[in-house]
Amino acid sequence: MILETAGIHHITAFARNPQDNVNFYAGVLGLRLVKKTVNFDATEVYHLYFGDQSGNPGTVITFFPYPNYRRGEIGGGQVGITAFAVPPGSLDFWEKRLNSFGITPTKAIRFQQSYLQFCDNEGLQLEIVEREEGLNSSWSFGGIPADKAIKGLGGAVLFSVNAEKTIHVLENVLGLKKLGVDAGYARFQSPAAIGNLIDVALEDKQRGHGGAGTVHHIAWRAKDFQEHEEWHRKVTACGFAPTQILDRKYFKALYFREDGGILFEIATDPPGFARDEAPDALGQKLMLPEWFEPLRGQIEDNLPQIEVKTPDGDKG
């Protein structure tokens, strides 16, 4: 059986102040905070998930906001740029919106597509691109009309310390198809309508350093638990040493580091974020896995309060 990933499941990055993180991703970018939980390996730190109205696979960016973390350095062995897809005809809206929050994006063109490039409040490199394909998000916040809202991830630009090896993994392990080369980037496509265009910088990059403002890992989709076990076997057979399959509550996960230095995860589409909250109440309460419930009081006491709003205080 040939395994190929549908595309990006989520991207996870580091931040510092959790309220600033919510202000930016929910407030400025208008994504929905679909889950407020803790880092399962460090419960004094939030794990915040942002996405479309349901946090569908391919729309999700997640953060570990470590308040006193060092600033990282973007470089080889990381996702260098995270791209968000918006509906056709909305790039001017986004440029004005970013300007209104004091952000001046620069413009770039790759593969005949126009990108607005900018950084989040910690220096994480982002871009916005118009895409025909992919469903519009039905989530609307902070004065962003639903027909201009971010649909989800448009893709990512990978910075590798060994681009040739990273490309080998994309094609031969993940099953992505090469579309072409332009201006120093090779482009790969996966079958999903969102989170489906991956560019690799062809020039090997100097290794970056993890910290606030950098991506920790990129997760690729497995359609169900059975396929996930097949992915574990395939990744092992391809010569990598994946972690065991871990229960991340909203998906199952396995991780391996590819030879270009980037941490890859494979995550299951099910069960999703409505597993422990009603779809219309996602992200409102601190959700903990069963094994941390007995410690809820202590965990809550150690976390700062956060609320969904824009940097200007707009809560609607």
CB of 103 to Zn ion, least distance (A): 26
C-beta of residue 249 within 8 angstroms of C-beta of residue 275? yes
* Residue placing its CB nearer to Zn ion in the complex, 20 or 265: 265
CA atoms within 13 A on the CB side of 169: 25
Contact flag: residue 26 with Zn ion (CB under 5 A): no
CB of 219 to Zn ion, least distance (A): 4
Residue 193, classified by CB atoms within 10 Å of its CB into exposed (0-12), middle (13-18) or buried (19+), is middle
Q: Three-state SS for 107?
A: strand
Q: Exactly one of 154, 265, 283, 287 binds Zn ion (CB under 5 A); which one?
A: 265
| Alpha-carbon distance values, 58 to 29, 118, 130, 140, 172 (Å) | 16, 21, 16, 18, 21
Contact flag: residue 126 with Zn ion (CB under 5 A): no
CB of 267 to Zn ion, least distance (A): 6
User: How many separate helices (H) and strands (E) can be counted in the chain?
Assistant: 5, 16
| Stretch of 30-38, 96-104, 264-272, 301-309 contacting Zn ion, by CB under 5 A | 264-272
Contact flag: residue 8 with Zn ion (CB under 5 A): no
CB of 216 to Zn ion, least distance (A): 8
* Residue placing its CB nearer to Zn ion in the complex, 13 or 219: 219
Gap between the Cα atoms of 148 and 90, Å rounded? 6
CB of 263 to Zn ion, least distance (A): 9
Q: Exactly one of 7, 8, 12, 215 binds Zn ion (CB under 5 A); which one?
A: 12
Stretch 29-68: interaction string toward Zn ion, x if CB under 5 A: ----------------------------------------
Contact flag: residue 218 with Zn ion (CB under 5 A): no
CA atoms within 13 A on the CB side of 269: 13
Q: Which residues 6+ apart lie within 8 Å of 106 measured at CB?
A: 116, 117, 118
* Residue placing its CB nearer to Zn ion in the complex, 57 or 260: 57
Q: What are the residues facing 47 on neighbouring strands?
A: 37
What are the residues binding Zn ion (CB under 5 A)? 12, 219, 265
